[in-house]
Amino acid sequence: MARKDFLVFGAPKISEDEIAEVVAALRSGWIGTGPRAQAFERRFAERVGARHAVALNSCTAGLHLALKAAGLRAGDEVITTPMTWCATANVIVHVGATPVFADVDRATGNLLPEAVEAAVTPRTRALLPVHFAGRACDMDALDDTARRHGLKVICDAAHAIETEWKGRRSGTLGEVSAFSFYANKNLTTAEGGMAVTDDPALAERLRILSLHGVSADAWKRFRADGPAHVQVVEPGFKYNMPDVLAALGLRQLEKLDAWQRRREALWAFYDRELAGLPLWLPPPPEPGCRHARHLYTVLVDDARAGLTRDALREALRRRQIGTGLHYMALHLQPYYVRAFGFQRGDFPNAEFISDRTLSLPLSPAMTDDDAEDVVEAVRDALRQGA
């Protein structure tokens, strides 16, 4: 039986207190970057274990600024994963550097440390790992590669607020980590992001670059005691987060622990109910590590299932269930094929995932009935396929 309403993939959970905080920001008269963004930065930094945080209008902005601040330029290479959203590699292109992909583990979707090591050349300047779906990359191995070759480590932590690698929280896993608060993320500000680092000078540089390259932000400039003049110290960008959006983040932060428990419960339900079907389910987190449970991605074992991922996706859509696709291997996207000459066969594990992956709805906004609808629809579709 199809549901009456469409189950939107990754639907955000927005409650009255978040709405009230946004309204309070609007009523305060300070709607741009100001006290709420500052408070959000402080609390977010604490949450992920970092000393400094700069609130931005996207994770993409955070990655771009981190690469810019690292001084990357034409001819430099940055090693990253093809199993990611295009933003991760696009920003490498934006700073004029060359994205170099390394293959991933088939089960986890995370970079294979040995593939990263093999991709290092004399031109490599940085590693840009992605904690895929909220599972930490093997940071011991990646840090070791970085140390031996003198590389920066910048983490794409878009999925990874709650992530931990062997007791290290996500804000400590790279020199800079960039988080996403896009609408379907574990915490959302509609659009938004945060760059975090332990290095105070780097944090200041990121902040300056995020606001035109001027030496004082709006909160400093327009207060009664603000400076008479500001100086442009370098050509920056316009990447700051307004208080109207930071208001959402402030209230959402308080709920992350409860939401994580809900995500874990839904995850366990899927693990239990989908076991035995012709699907590969996400493996459990590595010992001593915490998984942010951002995406529940299954791989369709098409040979056994008798139907492809796309057919399963369509069957779920007809049952009013929205799904996600994380990811179509980035090296096979037209721009990357054209600009860098990648082809099928270059990264077999990423391609294996790309051809079979499907992300099921997972959000604290879901009810138990929603989760049961998902399981029933998956089971029915696979039964018909068989």
Report the residue number, 155 or 382, with the smaller CB distance to ligand PLP.
155
Listed ranges 28-36, 80-88, 197-205, 226-234: which one lies at the site for ligand PLP (CB under 6 A): 80-88
Report the residue number, 22 or 130, with the smaller CB distance to ligand PLP.
130
Report the residue number, 50 or 292, with the smaller CB distance to ligand PLP.
292
Encode 113-123: b = buried (16+ Cβ within 10 Å), e = exposed.
bebbbebbeee
Q: Would you give the binding string for ligand PLP spanning residues 276-295, x where CB under 6 A is met? A: --------------------
Residue 134 makes contact with ligand PLP by CB under 6 A:
no
H/E segment holding residue 153? strand 152-156
Token pair listed for 130: 């992605």
CB of 303 to ligand PLP, least distance (A): 29
Q: Is 197 helix (H, G, I), strand (E, B) or coil?
A: strand
CB of 66 to ligand PLP, least distance (A): 12
Angle at 309 between CA 326 and CA 320, to 5 degrees: 85
Q: Is 271 helix (H, G, I), strand (E, B) or coil?
A: helix
Residue 9 makes contact with ligand PLP by CB under 6 A:
no
What crossing angle do the helices spanning 243-253 and 35-48 adopt, rounded to 10°?
Answer: 40
Report the residue number, 83 or 277, with the smaller CB distance to ligand PLP.
83
CB of 59 to ligand PLP, least distance (A): 3
CB of 295 to ligand PLP, least distance (A): 9
Q: What's the longest Cα–Cα distance across the chain?
A: 73
Encode 306-330: b = buried (16+ Cβ within 10 Å), e = exposed.
ebebebbbebbeebbbbbbebbbbb
- 185 is a catalytic site residue: yes
Token pair listed for 44: 């977010």
Active-site residue identified among 4, 185, 220, 238? 185
CB of 130 to ligand PLP, least distance (A): 5
Report the residue number, 325 or 375, with the smaller CB distance to ligand PLP.
325
CA–CA dist 327, 84 (Å, integer): 6
DSSP 33: S
CA–CA dist 241, 252 (Å, integer): 16
Report the residue number, 126 or 377, with the smaller CB distance to ligand PLP.
126
> Residues 159, 131: contact at Cβ < 8 Å?
yes
Residues 87-106 binding ligand PLP (CB under 6 A) are 87-88
Q: Would you give the binding string for ligand PLP spanning residues 165-204, x where CB under 6 A is met? A: ---------------x-x----------x-----------
Residue 116 makes contact with ligand PLP by CB under 6 A:
no
> Residues 348, 104: contact at Cβ < 8 Å?
no
CB of 62 to ligand PLP, least distance (A): 8
**Binding-site member from 9, 40, 44, 85 for ligand PLP (CB under 6 A):** 85
Residues 29-58 binding ligand PLP (CB under 6 A) are 58
CB of 182 to ligand PLP, least distance (A): 4
**Binding-site member from 33, 60, 323, 349 for ligand PLP (CB under 6 A):** 60
CA–CA dist 340, 146 (Å, integer): 24
H/E segment holding residue 360? strand 357-360
Residues 139-158 binding ligand PLP (CB under 6 A) are 156, 158
What crossing angle do the helices spanning 59-69 and 200-210 adopt, rounded to 10°?
Answer: 120
Q: How many residues bind ligand PLP (CB under 6 A)?
A: 14
Instruction: Write the Ramachandran bin of 175: left for phi over 0, alpha for psi from -120 to 50, otherwise beta.
Output: alpha
CB of 80 to ligand PLP, least distance (A): 10
Please state, as a whole number, how many other Cβ atoms lie within 10 Å of the Cβ of residue 106. Answer: 15
Enumerate binding residues for ligand PLP (CB under 6 A): 58-60, 84-85, 87-88, 130, 156, 158-159, 180, 182, 193
**Annotated catalytic sites, by residue?**
185
